[in-house]
Amino acid sequence: MTIEAVQLELFRKASPAKRFALMSSFSSTLRKASLKNLEQRFSNPLEARLEWMRLHYGEKIAQIVGNKIQVSRSTVNETEGALQRLVEVFTQLSISYRIVGSVASSAQGMMRATLDVDMVAALESHHIPEFASRLKNLYYIDEELVSEAVARGSSFNLVHRDTMIKLIFLFSANVLTTKFLSRGKGSRP
């Protein structure tokens, strides 16, 4: 069974409310990541939110909304929940990783909608048994497919069982991804 078939099966079994909640969660995660980056650039959270409005809705809307923008803090959403255990395992096994794709672009200030999380990871064959063992209860993971992908330096997918969020992995066996993992602030671990 392909990873897409597993994800589709999980979607089909989910109630309409669960599917809607998942889409809302992704939108919320992307918005929060985008705002978080802008808050790091601006000293005032309201200025950051105004800039976010300019980027996504244009100057006119940003001017109309102006000071009516509210600063809020909310709890962990489904996307963050799907990543939490995975990030813990990467850290515990000393595997370098980066979140890339739409989630990363949102963290840089430009929101993009997505139904998955793209990651680059320096996963090596000796990590696989422990990696799979620590994740198998929360994620759909095929250890054989992971081993094949690592051996080829290609990609593989996981699906977080509770949220149906697909996580797509690329590997540092590729020279470009090796360079990517080694640059920039916030390299993990």
Q: How many CB atoms lie within 10 A of CB 125?
A: 10
**Contacts of residue 34, Cβ cutoff 8 Å, sequence gap at least 6:** 52, 55, 106, 107, 108, 109, 110, 111
pLDDT confidence band for 186 (50 / 70 / 90): very low
Per-residue confidence (pLDDT) for residue 188, from 0 to 100: 47
What pairs with residue 169 in β-bridges?
Answer: 119, 156
pLDDT confidence band for 26 (50 / 70 / 90): confident
pLDDT, tens digit (0-9, with 9 covering 90-100), for 130-174: 999 999 888 888 899 999 999 988 889 888 877 767 888 876 545
55 membership: H or E segment, kind and range: helix 45-57
Lowest mean pLDDT among 26-30, 100-104, 148-152, 175-179: 175-179
pLDDT, tens digit (0-9, with 9 covering 90-100), for 41-67: 988 888 887 888 788 778 877 776 665
Per-residue confidence (pLDDT) for residue 106, from 0 to 100: 67
Residue 129 has pLDDT above 90, yes or no: yes
> Rounded to whole angstroms, what are the CA distances from 14 to 33, 112, 137, 166?
26, 24, 19, 15
User: Quick one: which of 183, 9, 165, 168 has its CA closest to 100?
Assistant: 168
Per-residue confidence (pLDDT) for residue 72, from 0 to 100: 47
